[in-house]
Amino acid sequence: MSLNLNAWRPASRPSIRNRLALWYGGILGGVILFLGILLYLRLSQNAYSDFDLSLRLTADALARLSLKQSQSTEPLTADDFLQGTDDPEFFTNFFRFYTSSGELEIRSKNHPKRTVPLSAPSFENALHQKATFESFSYPGRDDIRVMTRPVVYQGKVLHVLQVGGSLKRVDEVLSRLRFILFLTLPTALVVALIGGWFIADQALRPVNAMAQIARQITAGDLSRRIPMHPGEDELARLAETFNTMLSQLEESIQRIRQFSADASHELRTPLTILKGEAELALSEDYSKDEYKEMIVSSLEEIDRISRIVEDLFLLSKADLEEARLEMGPVPLTPLLQETVSQMKRLAADKDLSLEFDSADDPLLYGDAYRLRELFSNLIENAIRYTGPAGQITLSVSQTEEQIVINISDNGIGISPGDLPKIFDRFYRAESARALHPKGSGLGLSICQWIVLSHRGEIDVKSQPGQGTTFTLRFPLLR
């Protein structure tokens, strides 16, 4: 059974584009719906209050006319009112006058045939000098709205006046508005959804392009980059970050490849020598001394292999931050003196002078074992890369804040082209290979790690053919 991880997808989750479109459409649709309902409510409220206002104005005018007419001795007729006004509301609204005991006095000629009651509460209200608005519904016909109010003279209710009108026009306007809203709202929603989808599609297009390129990038080919469009937007920044990440990844994969190639190359040389010596030993009979010589030579190669392996092991532990340091206060002068005296024999073998000059005796907070390894490596290099009768000097001094250690030689020096690379793993200058073929190119990488893990700095100055000075600086322990 095989498991295809690429085929796995979270169950039925809509794409970001669809989700954005839905959100956009949903929010816009919600806002439009809310505004539509608000508009409808507001307009219908306005339409009814306008209608009520027209009833009120008509009633007021009628009340004034009735008071004027009441001065005359003639009884009131509907025509009296129509002659007294040119207000168009008079012709659309109907009216009725009742006596204060509830008997109908006059009713306008345009009064509808339907029964429009004078309700008991509205009559009661009128007797108490209050106006009342009421609506009456008739199945299959338009509604009628009526205002009932008193006509008062000298504090006495002379008549109860009713003015009414059909709500047909108001209802028609409102139903037309409802129709328009019902038509436009879903259309607006559909347009919002399509618009949202289109905007999301446009916005996410570069992301899709990035995903496509990212899919084509494999560990085998990290050289591809996402095309950058001019601009400062989020996607341009994302593409830039992605490209930077790719460059770093490409660089570190390149370093790993180089490192493996260098490591196998460095190990192959002593192994080939070892194999050659073993084959030589087996090829014919040799004297005891000759065998001894072969074994000594083989042991040298085995030493070289184990040193490379140990150095590699230490560096990989350092990379993983697993290399432990036993930190404590270390008096530097005795440690340097001890190291120098151990290396004196090696220097003497090459007829070199090795001098140590200590102006101070500073305390360094560090790991004595690793510090000894650091100084031994640097002195050993100075011995290796200095010709006979050369001079090597070591000095230690302290400033207000720092401990400064110089290791100088007047050896072969390092060319400006090699100088920036000497701390790289396995890097060896050609001149150094010629002088000392058995180095590994790992010593300075280890020195650099030791210095950095003691919060120090390592610098090198060199003149080819004149010599080299390594300067180490560490913070002073107070």
Binding site for ligand ADP (CB under 6 A): 381-382, 385, 409, 411-414, 422, 427-429, 432, 439-444, 468
Tell me the Cα Rg of the chain. 53
* CB 347, min distance to ligand ADP, A: 13
Q: How far is the CB of 247 from ligand ADP (least distance, A)?
A: 27
62 torsion bin: left (phi>0), alpha (psi -120 to 50), beta (else): alpha
* 122 versus 377: smaller Cβ distance to ligand ADP: 377
CB closer to ligand ADP out of 405 and 432: 432
CB of 273 to ligand ADP, least distance (A): 17
Given the complex with ligand ADP, which of 367 and 409 has the nearer CB atom?
A: 409
Nearer to ligand ADP, 334 or 420 (CB): 420
CB of 454 to ligand ADP, least distance (A): 18
217 or 271: whose CB is closer to ligand ADP?
A: 271
Q: Which is nearer to ligand ADP, 343 or 412 (CB)?
A: 412
Cα–Cα distances in angstroms (integers) from residue 219 to residues 5, 215, 231, in the given order: 18, 11, 29
Beta bridge partners of 324: none
Q: What is the closest distance, in whole angstroms, from the C-beta atom of residue 368 to ligand ADP in the complex?
A: 21
Q: How many residues belong to the chain?
A: 478
Work out how close the CB of 391 gets to ligand ADP at its nearest, in angstroms, rounded to a whole number: 12
Q: Long-range pairs for 103-110 at CB < 8 Å and ≥24 separation?
A: 105/76, 105/159, 106/76, 106/77, 106/78, 107/78, 108/78, 108/81, 108/82, 109/78
Q: Which is nearer to ligand ADP, 65 or 394 (CB)?
A: 394
Helix (H) or strand (E) holding 107: strand 104-107
Tokens standing for 54? 């027209």
3-class DSSP state of 426: coil
- Pairing mode of beta strands 328-331, 363-366: antiparallel
Q: What would the 3-class secondary structure string for 248-278 be? A: HHHHHHHHHHHHHHHHHHHHHHHHHHHHHHH
Nearer to ligand ADP, 108 or 468 (CB): 468
Write down the residue that tokens 């930077």 correspond to: 244
- Pick 239 or 382: Cβ nearer ligand ADP: 382
Could you give the CA distance from residue 389 to residue 391 in angstroms, rounded to a whole number? 7
CB of 427 to ligand ADP, least distance (A): 6
Bridge partner list, 133: 147
What residues contact 143, with CB distance under 8 A and at least 6 apart? Answer: 135, 136, 137, 166, 167, 168, 171
- Residue among 270 and 439 whose Cβ is closer to ligand ADP: 439
What single-letter amino acid sits at 146?
V
Q: How far is the CB of 290 from ligand ADP (least distance, A)?
A: 30
Listed residue (38, 34, 15, 30) closest to 192, CA to CA: 30
Q: How far is the CB of 334 from ligand ADP (least distance, A)?
A: 24
Q: From the CB of 385, what's the least distance to ligand ADP, in Å? A: 4
